[in-house]
Amino acid sequence: MYRRHLHVIAFLFSITLMLANCAKNNTPPNLPSPEPEEDNSSLRERYSAHPDKWPQANWYDGVLKKELSALTSNPHQDRPELLALGKVLFFDNRLGNRNNSCASCHIPENYWIDRVPVASGGGNRNTPNMENVWYLDGHLMLDGRATTFAEQITIAIESPHEMAGSVSEIPSRLASIKGYKPLFIDAFGDFKITESRVLEAIAAYSKSIISDKAPFDLFLEGQQAALTDQQIEGLHLFRTKAACINCHNGPFFTDLAYHNLGNSLDADRNPDNGRANFTGKYSDWGKFRTPGLRNVAFTAPYMHNGSIMTLENMIDLLIDGLPQLHGQRVSGTLSPHIKKLDMTYDERNALLAFIQSLSSAKPEVTKPILPN
């Protein structure tokens, strides 16, 4: 009897194992994960989150991904006395030989440009905006040929198209102007005027030139009304369909890189090979540094040759893939980032509205009284 019970128990146990194995074998392997739910929230709701939670940007292959961000604080906090001297030198038209100064082309009330196709002193390139120039350290001038502020300022003073002067002559000129004595004493502790001190002071003032917060920055700080629905749509397009973020990114909307936009002629219709003019590399032909977009709505005309007169026209050309109009041509290799976009007129206007949201108040700068 006992053995019979054992056989029954063993039989039931084997049946149980068999059923368990069958159940296990009948379970579908590697079931797919459920599809993520579609985000039906509005663009305003999606962009009201932290930028880490924003919709995925349309990044091109090989691009260093750097999200858009709020205005970064200027890390350069030079002594007021040094800035005061630098400001006077910036506005002094006696540093060169053409009766002009740094401020002749970089005009504060014009957002630090002269609003003409090429610099008023001559030459063949458009005057760049000086706001937030501290961020360009190592990438100065439109083609990046100046890697230090001292080098950039020297080029500007000695260029025949700009101030046509000589840095080496400036110390003796300033020494003959009595009014400079107290300024140098305050800035450096004595009246010794040297080339390096002159360049240091101008560089300090240049790096102090910054833009103010724009509606975009206020929106990132939580002020939801700072951007309209149209501007938020433009922000989304900027990061996705239009893919502007691939070149215009970070807090100042520039990747600090050099790109060929297919417009290689200067204002006189002569070839301008851009960065290749000083590197000698064919790979640099036609390349210029990506401009930042803060206050870009006020800094027309655009391109290195000042050939595009309005922001609306600039956006239209970018949407069309920057066609070579008015005799322009591609020198070297066109940037692969330049692509014709399939955008509606309403989307174009939204993109324009967002770029205008990067505008801040007009600079208020009191011009110094020049020493006698």
Read off the CATH number of the domain in which 118 is found: 1.10.760.10
112: in domain: yes
In this prediction, residue 268 carries a pLDDT of 79
> Based on the domain organization, do 93 and 184 belong to the same domain?
yes
Q: Is 226 a domain residue?
A: yes
Residues 159 and 271 in one domain: no
Residue 21's pLDDT band, with cuts at 50, 70 and 90, is very low
Which residue did the predictor score with more confidence, 14 or 199? 199
pLDDT of residue 11: 42
65/188 same-domain check:
no
Q: Does 93 map to a domain?
A: yes
pLDDT of 145 strictly over 50: yes
Is 26 within a domain?
A: no
Among 20-29, 158-167, 242-251, name the one with the lowest average pLDDT.
Answer: 20-29
Give me the chain's average pLDDT, please. Answer: 89
Number of domains in the chain: 2
Is residue 9 situated within a structural domain? no
| 227 and 197 in a common domain | no
- To 5 degrees, how large is the angle CA 74–CA 78–CA 79? 145
Kindly report, residue by residue over 121-136, the tens digit of the pLDDT: 667 899 999 999 999 9
Q: Is residue 367 part of a domain?
A: no
Both tokens assigned to 93: 């038209």
Taking CB atoms within 8 Å and a gap of at least 24, the contacts of 156-160 are: 156/102, 157/95, 157/96, 159/121, 159/123, 160/122
Those residues whose C-beta lies under 8 Å from the C-beta of residue 179, and which sit 6 or more positions away, are: 370, 371, 372
Query: Could you give the 3-state DSSP secondary structure of residue 232?
Result: helix
Across the range 216-222, mean pLDDT stands at 97
Among residues 97, 129, 96, which one has the least CA distance to residue 114? Answer: 129
Token readout for 331 is 């020198």
pLDDT at 324 over 90: no
- Whether 133 and 190 map to the same domain: the answer is yes
Same domain, residue pair 233 and 201: no
**354: enclosing H helix or E strand:** helix 345-356
Phi and psi torsions of 344, nearest 5° = -80, 170
- Asked whether residue 366 is domain-assigned, the answer is no
Q: Let me know: does 332 contact 260? Beta carbons within 8 Å.
A: yes
Q: On the CB side of 359, how many CA atoms lie within 13 Å of its CA? A: 16
Looking at the fold, whether 343 and 226 belong to one and the same domain comes out as yes
Q: How many CB atoms lie within 10 A of CB 211?
A: 21
CA distance 357 to 295: 9
Q: Domain boundary residue among 157, 175, 207?
A: 207
- Assess whether 95 and 190 both reside in one domain: yes
What global pTM score does this model have?
A: 0.86
User: Does residue 128 sit in the same domain as residue 226?
Assistant: no
Q: Within a domain: residue 38?
A: no
pLDDT band at 269 (very low <50, low <70, confident <90, very high): confident
Predicted local confidence at residue 194, as pLDDT: 98
Shared-domain flag, residues 120 and 203? yes
**Mean pLDDT of the 75-89 span:** 96
Per the structure, the complete domain to which residue 232 belongs is given by 43-71+215-356
Q: What is the pLDDT of residue 61?
A: 95
Same domain, yes or no, for 226 and 337? yes
Instruction: Give the relative orientation of helices 195-207 and 80-91 as an angle to the nearest 10 degrees.
Output: 100
> Which of 314-320's residues contact partners 24+ apart within 8 Å by CB, and which partners?
315/348, 315/351, 315/352, 315/355, 316/348, 318/242, 318/244, 319/242, 319/343, 319/348
Whether 88 and 54 map to the same domain: the answer is no
Strand partners, 260: 287
Residue 221: what residue type?
Answer: E
Token pair recorded at residue 340: 């014709």
